[in-house]
Structure 1
Amino acid sequence: MTVVQGTAVDIVTEDGTADAYLAHPGDGAPHPAVLLYMDAFGLRPRLRAMADRLAGAGYTVLVPNVLYRHGRAPVVELPEFIDPSARPDIFERLGPVMQALTPERAMRDAGAYLRWLAESPSAADGPVALTGYCMGARLALLTAGTYPERIAAAAGFHGARLATDTPDSPHLLAERITAELYFGHADQDPALPEEQQERLEHALSAAGVRHRCEVYPGAPHGFTQADTAAYSQEADERHWAALLDLLKRNLMGA
């Protein structure tokens, strides 16, 4: 069994300092790097546990608090079990914070995260993979299109606003992407309606991007997050199988 080391780290960006969590195998060797983009609820025990699981599979994993401009994690106080229907105030407070993270700011930050990994002795030389959840799936797609020379693979799960009709929609970067992509969509997800799923699929296919997009039947938005009311164990395990397969193929050469 792989021993995993997890530590809190700070990453200097052009706009401040982002707090983050770093997990990696405890063997002292560099390992292929994965940048894990958080969901709206942010850097918390669940995401650290997900990073640890990836590290146990042989990767160095960085999980930044992408909302650092509004404070260190947790940006808003969270209960141990998150049920937005019982606590609508959580999204009321998070909404303006998420909206303040424009694509321009997010991609400046992404450059800082990628530079930090390139300089980290825990991360192997070479391209990086991405995985993102909810808003993080959007960030993963934006990053794959903004830094194509650095990204070998990118995955997104129960993604939100991946292919909108706005001029800053991430699907519009499809022609720049060289990574292999995988998306696991939540079923009947208001954050990614069928029209956006079709728009994303068309854009990636037209650009010749290696990709697979799948809808997880019966899985609600947020299905990977075990500390929320949206969790689906079946869909979560399907996500892990797809993610680990993508990473192994693109970072481990298998």
Structure 2
Amino acid sequence: MCDLHDQEELKKYKRRDFAVWAASAGMLAALPAVANAVAVAERDVSIATADGSCDAYFVAPTSGPAPGVLIWPDVFGLRPAFRQMARRLAESGYSVLVVNPFYRQMKAPTAAQGGKTPIAEVMPLMQALTPAMHLSDGKSFVAWLDAQPEVDKKRKLGTTGYCMGGPIAVRTATVAPGRVGAVATFHGAAMVTPAPDSPHRLVAQTQARYLIAVAENDDKKDPEAKLALRAAFDGAKLQSEVEVYPAAHGWCPPDTQVYDAAQSERAWSRLLDTFGKALA
């Protein structure tokens, strides 16, 4: 969960590979270059929603229409790290939109220190959002993607979610089941809860292939969650991959205190494989 960014958790994982973390502290780690990267064009955009206007970042190949992807950031929001991640995905052949999920409260950047911002400073932003807002926004963002000439409407869309973005990605797939063909979540928060609208109870309303990358410390706190997710996918007859990674909650974005380059690359390779199969 997002509250796993507490001091004891951070100390544990910083000790695991302190030299690597110390070398990148205070800066954004450079992600590996994409092999055979395609040329891309990027722009900041504003998207009309039921509740206002959402600031976002869009980057896409210049060679022609490509499958669209919607990225839901973690609790630290739209920032340079997610722009870098989106550009890398675009260089791999996708038209990528990263949104500011907190646009109702403030424009990005919403976390003063990016992924190293104290969690207490950003939790109120996350807590102000509701599942109804997630559903409404997901519908707006899917429609926006489908209106762009850079997006190939003949191919399915993908959506990814990090931390709090995990459940939102699943909800997005429920509002556009005929369009969303792949959902990937990385260290997703609250993917399995007692609530009637828990993400694992919603997957039957979708038609997507799933990649669920679970953080080691999240799994230790709730080891039954991965089993519930697998059972939900099996029950819905959806193709899925649910795996626990030996890394901490927050390991994927390159600006967090628990960024794990090796495990991030492993997750990246699984994402490309999932999209390659589901969005072809």
Same fold by TM-score greater than 0.5: yes
Structure 2: distance between partners of 1:160 and 1:42: 14
Structure 1 position 192, deviation (Å): 6.8
Structure 2: distance between partners of 1:20 and 1:77: 17
- Selected match of 1:171 from 185, 200, 205: 200
Structure 2 length as normaliser, TM-score?
Answer: 0.83
Q: 1:20, 1:62 within 8 Å by CA — same for their partners in 2?
A: yes
Partner of 1:225: 253
Partner of 1:74: 109
Q: 2:138, 2:175 within 8 Å by CA — same for their partners in 1?
A: no
Q: 1:148, 1:178 within 8 Å by CA — same for their partners in 2?
A: yes
Alignment: residue pair count: 243
Please say if 1:49 is aligned against 2:78: no
Which structure is richer in relative contact order (CA contacts within 8 A, separation 6 or more)? 2
Please say if 1:26 is aligned against 2:55: no
Structure 2: distance between partners of 1:174 and 1:5: 34
Please say if 1:99 is aligned against 2:127: yes
Structure 1 position 212, deviation (Å): 1.0
Residues 163-195 of structure 1: CA distance to partner in whole angstroms, max 9, x if unpaired?
111222111112212111111111121797212
Q: 1:158, 1:185 within 8 Å by CA — same for their partners in 2?
A: yes
Q: 2:219, 2:244 within 8 Å by CA — same for their partners in 1?
A: no
Q: 2:66, 2:95 within 8 Å by CA — same for their partners in 1?
A: yes
Structure 1 position 244, deviation (Å): 0.4
Partner of 2:234: 205
- Selected match of 1:186 from 208, 215, 223: 215
Partner of 1:13: 49
Q: SS at 1:72's partner residue?
A: coil
Structure 2: distance between partners of 1:220 and 1:207: 29
- Return closer, same or farther for 1:14/1:102 CA change in 2, 3 Å cut-off: same
Q: For residue 45 of structure 1, what is the amino acid of its counterpart? A: P
- Selected match of 2:170 from 141, 146, 150: 141
Q: For residue 233 of structure 1, what is the amino acid of its counterpart? A: A
Please say if 1:63 is aligned against 2:98: yes
Q: Percent identity?
A: 39
Q: SS at 2:129's partner residue?
A: coil
Structure 1: distance between partners of 2:91 and 2:255: 21
Structure 2: distance between partners of 1:237 and 1:63: 20
Structure 1 length as normaliser, TM-score?
Answer: 0.91
Structure 1: distance between partners of 2:46 and 2:250: 27
More divergent stretch after superposition (29-38 vs 13-22):
29-38
Residues 67-93 of structure 1: CA distance to partner in whole angstroms, max 9, x if unpaired?
1001110123225xx43xxx5xx3223
Q: 2:164, 2:189 within 8 Å by CA — same for their partners in 1?
A: yes
Q: For residue 74 of structure 1, what is the amino acid of its counterpart? A: P
- Selected match of 2:150 from 122, 128, 138: 122
- Selected match of 1:156 from 181, 185, 195: 185
Deviating above 4 A after TM superposition, structure 1's stretches of 4 or more consecutive aligned residues are none
Q: For residue 212 of structure 1, what is the amino acid of its counterpart? A: E
Q: For residue 105 of structure 1, what is the amino acid of its counterpart? A: M
Partner of 2:269: 241
Partner of 2:160: 131
Q: 1:161, 1:192 within 8 Å by CA — same for their partners in 2?
A: no
Structure 1: distance between partners of 2:174 and 2:223: 22
List alignment gaps of at least 5 residues for structure 1: none
More divergent stretch after superposition (154-163 vs 143-152):
143-152
Structure 1 position 227, deviation (Å): 0.7
More divergent stretch after superposition (44-53 vs 171-180):
171-180
List alignment gaps of at least 5 residues for structure 2: 1-36
Structure 2: distance between partners of 1:163 and 1:100: 20
Structure 1 position 43, deviation (Å): 0.6
Structure 1 position 200, deviation (Å): 1.6
